[in-house]
Amino acid sequence: MSTSERDHERGDQRERTSHGSFGEYGGQYVPEAVMPALQELEDAYERYVLENEDGFMDEFRERLRDFGGRPTPLQRADRLSERYGREIYLKREDLVHGGAHKLNNALGQVLLAKYMGKERIVAETGAGQHGTATAMAAAHLDVPCEIYMGRTDVNRQRPNVYRMRMNGAQVNPVDAGSGTLKEAINETMRDWSTTVETSHYVIGSVVGPHPFPAMVRDFQAVISDEAREQLLESAGRLPDTVIACAGGGSNTMGAFDAFIPDADVDLVAVEAGGSSLEIDEGDGIAPNSATLSTGSDGVLHGAMTKLLQSDDGQIMESHSVSAGLDYAGVGPELSHLVETGRVRPVNVDDETALEAFHRLSTLEGIIPALESSHALGYLERAAGPAAKTSNEQHAQEAAEEGLGDLVVVNVSGRGDKDLETVLEETEARDLAAAPDVEVFDS
Amino acid sequence: MSDDRDDSSDRPAVDSEIEAAIYENHPALIAYITAGDPSLEDTKAYVEALDRGGADLIELGLPFSEPIAEGPTIQGAINRALAAGTTPAGFFDLVDGLETDAPLLVMTYYNMLLQFGAEADVRPFVERAADAGISGVIVPDLPAEEAEPLCAACDEFGLDVVFIVAPTTEGDRLETIMSRASGFVYVQARLGTTGARADVSSATHDSLERLEGHSDVPKAVGFGVSKGDHAAEIVEAGADGVIVGSALVDIVAAHGSDGDAPAAADLEEKARELKAGAERAAADADATDGEQERTPEPEHP
């Protein structure tokens, strides 16, 4: 099926309008200087992505295959299946070139920028996975590239900073605020509003002004397109539940998109519960990044969506042990899907995610990104041994949530980048699933 | 003050306080500072100083945590204001107590309007702004396409919505913006973010030329203006007003915690310099016009 046919089929579900809104969410809230660039991008998106003009999508898919290593496997996880008493399948986005789903979008956008005749790429990055993917795609397609990254994230994601530099990108640390994704986005917006005539801003998630949320979703939809087909082939039926972690929401939308019309498939977005769901209004700090679960409507970074904000409208500093989920906003389409009840938002805390990180590493020989560990942590909470036996609340939750017999979990990326954080955080806690990490101290 | 535009009979009657202030004081000085930097009490003294120094309109920034259109200078001011605990309620209390000749505008980001009062509705903010005596709003992350709710609320309460025209704004979008503009059109002198610069961008001349014939609404130029000479250059290029922000915020920042009196004196002096620059250019233009009428260019053999 062509992209435009697929798009047509799903069009009703999305309630998309010409202004790029998803119900009451979305829109274009940006400085005037970049509005013409958004119109230019909207036009390019419609022509190249939706209509496959000049064979754009054909080239994109070919490069995803040959450079990106797609399709990724949908692997039946034997020991997880045994542990949870149901069929667990892992969509292995950690096997995409670069180690995360981020390449799908970065490659699509850098290629689109080339088709549009743009001379330079700017991008923001949180955990560094998007920056890495963008730097790789820019090197692959021979376009100069500059990446903004919060200082805190530079410090906690050094391997990715090195990788970006290796691929020839310039990495600019951002010192403002808490030095995480939100500040990096602000700084990239500023660069873009200065260089908008020659630069393309590769936004890293399904966030930002229209057409970014729709376009990034379309580039990431390859995840669920493949998973749906692979599962029909191997299991002969659709899954009962698809689970994906949600920060900005690009792997989430990618994992859900093809299943949205399948009303019987439960779609679960797992957010970062951080250390607590309580918010300290006085300090303007949310010790979590659970925007869909606890946020309220507002405008941030170009779109109307759900946000972590104070009563006065100031955006909160968020927190997650996973740099990739540490963001006070979320994609507008996800806000809409949650609002309409199609997607169920849940959250797990830092500790649950760390446990899940170690569990998958030990049981399946896959070291997952801390982002993906949140999705796996939810699986444990809803269907693990504790849920079945000791914890009444969780057992009840699992029963109510009814994950079903066939579950797909999107492993959005691999965890090599997170090892330093994991060692540090593991040492500070008493985690049942963790190996002895003291050996790394010397 | 001596400009002849205010008694021009072919100009339509002006019911906007902002337009009236610009026409009456042509060429106008529009001064920006961030409210709450370093405190709301200081802001009161600074606004009054700018008013004494000759600012014809005063733009007060209501700080928002993610100011994507601002450069480092104003972002710094916003951070200081937020650290000092500036809230929308405190902001409006400040404005309630201000007595200035210059009409006031509020400049802030869209989320601040949406969160005031009922969730995701701008009307309570606009109503409160009108109560406080504010004459107009500028929202840098609200393009004309998304501005209908704000325009409707501002129409209801008699406030102007000032739109920004960037060097990249052309064609249909320019038409749309100009047709909705009221108060004045904010002509962004260059691409990028706010911040004092060493020179006036050549894009200013092109931008003002592009706006010719679109609307009677006054045109004011900002982004990078820091000196009287810049103001003069902008007025020479045909602007009705000069917008200055970062250069004033720099003065506030430079004084740190040395009390409000010296900062206020410097702000007043800076406003005088800028206003004098604008007026000098206007006077030169008048003189040149007059001269040209009296003594036509000698013909060369």
Inside any domain, residue A270: yes
Domain match, A196 and A239 both: no
Task: State the distance between the two ends of chain B, measured CA to CA, in whole angstroms.
Answer: 43
ipTM of the complex: 0.91
The pLDDT assigned to A280 comes to: 74
By Cβ distance, the residue of A31, A195, A309 closest to B141 is A31
Alpha helices in A208-258, H assignment, sequence order: 212-220, 222-234, 250-256
Q: What is the DSSP letter of A285?
A: B
The pLDDT assigned to A284 comes to: 76
Burial of A389 (0-12, 13-18, 19+ CB in 10 A): exposed
Domain residues for the domain of A302 are 74-98+221-429
Spatial separation of the C-alpha atoms in residues A253 and A320, rounded to whole Å = 20
Domain match, A128 and A90 both: no
Domain match, A299 and A399 both: yes
Residues from chain A contacting residue B65 (CB–CB below 8 Å): 177, 284, 314-315
Q: Which is catalytic among the residues A42, A87, A93, A124?
A: A124
The pLDDT assigned to A195 comes to: 93
By Cβ distance, the residue of B65, B71, B75 closest to A314 is B65
Domain boundary among A213, A241, A273: A213
Give the residue on B whose Cα is nearest the Cα of A191: B192
Domain match, A336 and A187 both: no
Q: Which is catalytic among the residues A322, A372, A412, A417?
A: A412
The pLDDT assigned to B4 comes to: 41
Domain match, A52 and A84 both: no
Spatial separation of the C-alpha atoms in residues A129 and B132, rounded to whole Å = 48
Domain boundary among A186, A213, A240: A213
Domain match, A140 and A154 both: yes
Spatial separation of the C-alpha atoms in residues A22 and A126, rounded to whole Å = 25
Residues from chain A contacting residue B142 (CB–CB below 8 Å): 29
* DSSP sequence for A393-405: HHHHHHHHH---S
Domain match, A354 and A249 both: yes
Two tokens at A259?
A: 């299943």
Q: How many helices (H) and strands (E) does chain B have?
A: 12, 9
Spatial separation of the C-alpha atoms in residues A255 and A237, rounded to whole Å = 17
Query: Minimal Cα–Cα distance from A188 to chain B, Å?
Result: 9
Domain match, A25 and A82 both: no
SS3 per residue for B131-168: HCCCCEEECCCCCHHHCHHHHHHHHHHCCEEECEECCC
Which residues contact residue A22 at a Cβ distance below 8 angstroms, ignoring those fewer than 6 apart? Answer: A14, A15, A16, A213, A332, A333, A335, A336, A337
A31 with B88: Cβ contact below 8 A: no
Domain match, A278 and A194 both: no
- Contact at 8 Å (CB) between B57 and B21? yes
Domain count, chain A: 2
Inside any domain, residue A171: yes
CA atoms within 13 A on the CB side of A238: 16
Query: Minimal Cα–Cα distance from A150 to chain B, Å?
Result: 14
The pLDDT assigned to A245 comes to: 98
Give yes or no for A301 touching B (CB within 8 A): yes
For an interface test with A, give the residue of B64, B65, B108 to mutate (most A CBs within 10 A).
B65
Inside any domain, residue A440: no
CATH number at residue A135: 3.40.50.1100
A102 given a catalytic annotation: yes
Domain match, A232 and A171 both: no
The pLDDT assigned to B291 comes to: 59
With a CB-CB cutoff of 8 Å, which residues 380-439 of chain A face chain B? none
Give the residue on A whose Cα is nearest the Cα of B113: A313
For an interface test with A, give the residue of B64, B93, B111, B119 to mutate (most A CBs within 10 A).
B111
Radius of gyration (C-alpha) of chain A in whole angstroms:
20
Inside any domain, residue A441: no
Q: What is the pLDDT along chain A (442 residues), one digit of tens a residue?
A: 444 455 545 544 444 444 689 999 999 999 999 999 999 999 999 999 999 999 999 999 999 999 999 999 999 999 999 999 999 999 999 999 999 999 999 999 999 999 999 999 999 998 899 999 999 999 999 999 999 999 998 988 888 999 999 999 999 999 987 788 888 988 998 899 899 999 999 999 999 999 999 999 999 999 999 999 999 999 999 999 999 999 999 999 999 999 999 999 999 999 999 988 887 777 778 889 999 999 999 999 999 999 999 999 999 988 899 988 989 999 999 999 999 999 999 999 999 999 999 999 999 999 999 999 999 999 999 999 877 655 566 555 555 567 999 999 999 999 998 998 999 999 988 888 888 777 665 4
Spatial separation of the C-alpha atoms in residues B162 and B68, rounded to whole Å = 18
Inside any domain, residue A442: no
Domain boundary among A213, A230, A255: A213
Domain match, A88 and A60 both: no
Inside any domain, residue A439: no
User: What's at B213, amino acid-wise?
Assistant: G
Spatial separation of the C-alpha atoms in residues B88 and A256, rounded to whole Å = 40
The size of the A-B interface in CB pairs under 8 A is: 118
Give yes or no for A32 touching B (CB within 8 A): yes
Average pLDDT, chain A: 91
Q: Which segments in chain B show pLDDT lower than 70?
A: 1-14, 119, 257-260, 290-301
CA atoms within 13 A on the CB side of A41: 30
Domain match, A147 and A195 both: yes
Query: Minimal Cα–Cα distance from A172 to chain B, Å?
Result: 15
Inside any domain, residue A161: yes
- Contact at 8 Å (CB) between B278 and B231? yes
Question: All domains of chain B, ordered by start, with CATH?
Answer: 17-294 (3.20.20.70)
The pLDDT assigned to A279 comes to: 77
The pLDDT assigned to A135 comes to: 98
